[in-house]
Amino acid sequence: MRSLLLAITLLTSAVLSAQSARKYSNEFLAIGVGARALGMSNSYVTTVNDVTSGYWNPAGLTQVSTDFQIGLMHAEYFAGIAKYDYGGFAANIDSASAFGFSIIRFGVDDIPNTTQLIDADGNVDYDRISSFSVADYAFMFSYARKAKLKGLSYGANVKIIYRDVGDFASAWGFGLDAGAQYFHKGWKMGLMVRDVTSTFNAWSFSLSQETIDVFTATGNEIPENSIEVTLPKAILGIGREVKISNKFNLLGELDFDFSTDGKRNVLISGDPVSIDPHMGLELGFNKMIFLRAGVGNIQKVTDILKNDKYTYQPNFGVGIQFKGIALDYAFSDIGDQSDALYSNIFSLRFDIKKQVHTQERFN
């Protein structure tokens, strides 16, 4: 019965989200990629300079220092029930431009489907139990270029969304992101606009008559094909790197997320625009070992005594970089710090340089 309720809840959630513009649409794309950024509480749109720029700010691809970069990340949430995976590739086209590709998957697998547990004669038949997955995919194609104005770079993403609920429902979506970075006298400024033209997901449902009967018997609404709209979100950031000594450097960034989908429980709550600030720090030693920390997800909550107070979510991380390989770790969460459901997140980055082959001729 618990599995049956889970299946119905997942389908109902899909139906509820597929009603024009709503809060938290395609929210799996708000989690973030790369343990470096997650350790800094997602404060990364200004200082990002590697393969993960395809997600954080495509303009950062112009800062990739090697010919190619490959990035990988795996994370698990809710005691391993949900899996979150990322892979990215970036390459320089020439001295002024670069491109990248990113893929993200967030899913729950092997969910028991008990909608057919009872046969037509009212008998319980466990052989009729099957399983399915609920997964969200994003495919991002990125391009970035340095502007003629010194210190300015800009870029854009074309993203394709695919969301799948077993054999019950699926959705295809399309959207655009745009970003820019500007460096001036040691200061770094960045702007990232997600879903700049809004992102549209077209949901289609294919329910068997038996499943429709289950929905009817349990009082659930029968889902219909519909369109889900994700409204634009802008992230504005400012950062700076300070050289403490010959071997120590300190990097800091402060970001402000401007959401446009209605009132949210963030530090500056408004309708339709809410502002969510967060910040991160990175202490580097000899450009090899890094310690990171960040603060975000600042919310106003009411306790059992009806007293208002503010809560926040701290994140932590470490990293090591050696001979073109970077291994990063973050102790982070996806936003429910009240339950302290933190996860251990690892990511890898590989820097690849072209091999130059020479051939000597002997006469």
In tens, the pLDDT along 87-115 reads: 999 999 999 999 999 999 999 988 887 76
Q: Which tops the pLDDT comparison, 224 or 81?
A: 81
Domains and CATH numbers, the chain: 2-352 (2.40.160.40)
Q: Are 205 and 224 in contact (CB under 8 A)?
A: yes
* Paired sense of beta strands 20-21 and 226-230, if any: parallel
* 311-321 residue pLDDT tens: 888 999 999 99
pLDDT tops 80 at residue 271:
yes
CA 318 vs CA 16, 47, 49, 70, 129: distances in Å: 39, 17, 18, 19, 44
Residue 10: predicted pLDDT? 40
Give the chain's length: 363
258 pLDDT band, cuts 50/70/90, is very high
Angle at 231 between CA 225 and CA 234, to 5 degrees: 155
Least confident of 86-95, 108-117, 145-154, 286-295: 108-117
Residue for token pair 């401007």:
258
Q: Say if residue 12's pLDDT is above 60.
A: no
13 secondary structure, DSSP code: H
Mean pLDDT of 128-136: 82
Residue 15 has a pLDDT of 41
Distance CA 281, CA 291 (A): 8
The yes-or-no verdict on residue 203 having pLDDT over 70 is: yes
Torsion of the alpha carbons at 212, 216, 217 and 221, rounded to the nearest 10: 110
The pLDDT of residue 358: 40
Instruction: Assess whether pLDDT exceeds 90 at residue 23.
Output: no
Summary mean pLDDT of the chain = 85
Give residue 7's pLDDT.
39
Please give the Cα distance from 286 to 128 (Å, whole number). 60
- Residue predicted with more confidence, 355 or 164: 164
pLDDT of 333 strictly over 90:
no
Strands (E), 114-168: 130-146, 152-165
**pLDDT of 265:** 83
Helix (H, G, I), strand (E, B) or coil at 234: strand
Who wins on pLDDT, 263 or 13?
Answer: 263
Q: What does the pLDDT read at residue 302?
A: 78
- For residues 56 and 39, give the distance between their C-alpha atoms in angstroms, rounded to a whole number: 14
User: Radius of gyration (Cα) for the chain, nearest Å?
Assistant: 23
For residue 241, pLDDT over 60 is answered with: yes
Region of residue 287 (phi > 0: left; psi between -120 and 50: alpha; otherwise: beta): left
Confidence of residue 267 (pLDDT cuts 50, 70, 90): confident
Of all residues in the chain, the percent with pLDDT exceeding 90 is 54
**Per-residue confidence (pLDDT) for residue 356, from 0 to 100:** 47
Q: Specify the pLDDT at position 13.
A: 43
